[in-house]
Amino acid sequence: SAEHADEAVKTVQSVTASDIWAKAGSAKQVLREVPYTWLKKEKPRGPVLESGVMDLVFEEDDGWVIVDYKTGGMDKEKYRPQLEAYKEAWESMGCGGVKEIGILWVDEGKYEILT
């Protein structure tokens, strides 16, 4: 909506001005807003259908990088399970090895690597 336009523009500017965005720009492949659904085999409950959307995924010579955008407080441990789930899904679906997962803290313009 129009009332959130200024905030949306600031968010886009922060993301596109970040070092990780520039790094992705020189990657072999770059994917944005990547939806996924996969059947995760859990024990003892059985299979679980998991789905989500990865904000930024890009391929470098030595593996894939998965980046999630976050606003608000910079508590990486709060979001670690989400990023680990993205990594597990990516690799389990046969998309390739993930060498790095990280969070772009949009409000701060800082990128933090979790692995």
Closest CA to 76 of 28, 114, 48, 115: 114
Full DSSP string of 14-29 = HHHTSHHHHHHHTSSE
CB 13 within 8 A of CB 109: no
Q: What is the pLDDT of residues 9-64, one digit of tens each?
A: 998 999 999 999 999 999 999 999 999 999 988 778 888 899 999 999 999 999 99
Q: Does residue 44 have a cis peptide bond before it, meaning omega lies within 30 degrees of 0?
A: yes
Q: Could you tell me the pTM of the whole model?
A: 0.91
Q: What is the pLDDT of residues 57-89, one digit of tens each?
A: 999 999 999 999 999 888 999 999 999 999 999
Contact 100, 65 (CB under 8 A): yes
| Closest C-alpha to 103, from 85, 72, 79, 73 | 79
Tell me the per-residue pLDDT of 87-111, one tens digit each, with 9 for 90 and over: 999 999 999 999 999 999 999 999 9
